Amino acid sequence: MSQFTDLSTLDGALLRYRVLAYIVGTGLALLVFVGVPLQAAGYPQLVTIAGPIHGVFYIVYLVMALDLARRARFSLVEMFAMIGAGLIPILAFVIERRITRRVRARTVEPWQLPAFLRRGQSPATPAPAPTGGAPVPPTAADERR
């Protein structure tokens, strides 16, 4: 099975992290690629408004990243990559994708489990074998079509 104890809490932490990563990444890209050039041209309104909003979302993003790192037992390198992703434009999207793949690779979906574990049976009593692959003869209704 999985190395995680409660997959539902890990999935929730991953979803929260992903949502905040997209918000922070989009906000930072907007600030850097649109706001800074506008500010240099003499229109500081976008940076004045979007800058503090990005800052608040970045703090929430940090909390969600640390929560996911704790639940998924990430290394310090992975945790620092998640933290730094909100400071460098576009990096939030790249790191989010890598973290999502890594978490999903470590978890096991119920449909991926062996059949005896899905049905709650022990390994000593295996699940009944499927019937042979013999073709089913057509019925009268099939022949009318």
Report pLDDT digits (tens) over 77-116.
Answer: 989 999 999 889 999 999 999 999 988 887 765 555 555 5
Kindly tell me the burial class for residue 24, based on how many C-beta atoms sit within 10 Å of its own C-beta (0-12, 13-18, 19 or more).
buried
The pLDDT confidence band at residue 122, using thresholds 50, 70 and 90, is low
The DSSP call for residue 88 is S
Rounded to 5 degrees, what are φ and ψ at 69? -60, -40
The domain spans of the chain are: 10-107
Structure tokens at 4: 């995680």
Q: For position 86, what pLDDT does the model report? A: 86
The pLDDT confidence band at residue 2, using thresholds 50, 70 and 90, is very low
> Residue 94 to residues 52, 56, 80, 145: CA-CA distances in angstroms?
24, 21, 14, 53
